[in-house]
Structure formats: C-alpha cells, structure tokens
Amino acid sequence: MTRHQLTSLIRSTNSYLCVGLDSDLTKIPAHLRSGKDPIFEFNRRIIDATKAHCVAYKLNTAFYEAEGVKGWETMEKTVNYIPDTHFKIADAKRGDIGNTSAQYAKAFFEALRFDAITVAPYMGEDSIRPFLEYKDKWTILLGLTSNAGAKDFELQPTGEGLLYEKVLTTAQKWGTPDNLMYVVGATQADTFTRIRELTPDHFYLVPGVGAQGGSLEAISKKAINKDVGLLVNASRAVIYASGGEDFAEAAGKTAAEYQQEMRQYLSAGR
C-alpha cells in the first residue's frame, strides 16, 4: 500500500484507527475455545465487526508464534481474511544482520503478504535495508516506546540529544516518508511535539491508547500533519471490550467510538 493510498483511506474512512489482533487463547470468550481454530474464529468476527471503523490491523506475531505451526497457520489465515483495502502490520520487531533480515522480509512481505513490519534499529542500517528494498511495503522502526525500560537506552542523553532522537534522525537517511514509519508510544504524549519537529513528514504507529492509558486527544493534537501521519493502535480496549457472546458487537461499538473521536480531530485539522 502506497502512502497516497493509506492517506486516502484515512480521509475517506475518517479514521486512523489500527486494531491490534493480539489474540490470546486464554482471554477470548469461552464459547469459542472448543472450536477447530478458535483464535481465527475470534479474529474473523472481530474483523467483520470493526472493518468499517478502522484502516489497519496489527498482529503481534508472538501470540501466534507461541502456538507453533498451528499459530503460523492461524496468522496466515487471519492476514488473508483482512480485506485488501486495509493496512496489515506484522508487529514482529525483527532486525538482524542483512542476510537474516532479508529472510524475515521475505517471510512477512511475500509468504504472509503483510504491508508493514516493525523492526528494531539497534544493529544499524544494514539490518534494516532488506525491508526497505520492497516496493510499496513499509518498515516501522522502533522510535520511542512506552515501556518502563525505555529509560535504559532510548531516553539516555548522547552528544546529539537523547538516543531515540538520534535514531529518528539517522534512520531518515535510510528510508523516506513513503516507506518508513516510526513506533512512538502513546504514553509519551509530551514528546510528540519534539518528535514531529524531527520527523515532520513521517507516519507514526502509536500503540498504548486505551488499556495502557494513552490520550488519543493529546496525540492527535500534537502529531497530525498534512497527510494525517498517524496510525493509532488499540488492542485490548477493542478486542476484549466484552468477554461474552456479544464480544464482536462490543468490539465494533468501541471501534466506532474511536472513529467518531478521530473524525473530530481530522475535521479540526482541515
């Protein structure tokens, strides 16, 4: 999916919501668990209920890899079920020496047909380059995360500002706003003004809204740019909106509420 297509989808849908399909067998409704592929059935119903209100889906691959071969099959079925109109993100956080990254890129961009993958930047450009070589695919680089451990490295001062700032500015030389995004945690709302100054044209994937307490309003007001430039992810708040048989309906309702709020911020920015 190109930048133009992504921006057009956001504008036409009045939403920059990404639904995180971090589906956990122990948390899905009990009545689904006896099925042949309960996670896929759960995902299928969530997708059907939310696709009118979001523009993207993000699969945290750990939840699927943990189930071995069956989990990979479920992940592939889920990716194939997501409409091609929607942006598909593999939250895999890969990054290794070049020939290994090339195989990761092949796995997620060719075999599984994701539009984007999250990657860790700390092995440098040659570990990221194989992902960036794919046409109309996106590399989403970890920028500033919302976990407590961000202070261990990302928030450490260097001679050129904080370390995460150096990551953002250095990586801009590797890719372009057409194929490189950054992960910026929603709970880091106070930093979005500075991050937008450093990367004025790039898209951000923003996890942490909803269950983790990030403010959609604060992020939107500080980070929306001329092409919107945001994909805000909500996982637990949407997919586990209800633990009962009405789980899909509840997920759709919650996604619609996010969409309505996003519509306001998009209108204000026009």
Q: Which residues are catalytic?
A: 93
CA proximity to 126, closest of 147, 146, 105, 145: 105
d(CA 57, CA 21): 7
What is the rounded distance in angstroms from the CA atom of residue 50 to the CA atom of residue 17?
10
C-alpha angle with apex 239: 182 to 35, nearest 5 degrees? 125
- CA–CA distance, 254 with 270 (Å, rounded to integer): 25
**Helix, strand or coil, per DSSP, at residue 168:** helix
- Can you tell me the distance from the alpha carbon of 261 to that of 213, in angstroms, rounded to the nearest whole number? 16
**Nearest one of 161, 151, 165 to 195, comparing CA atoms:** 165
* Residue 110 structure tokens: 């060719």
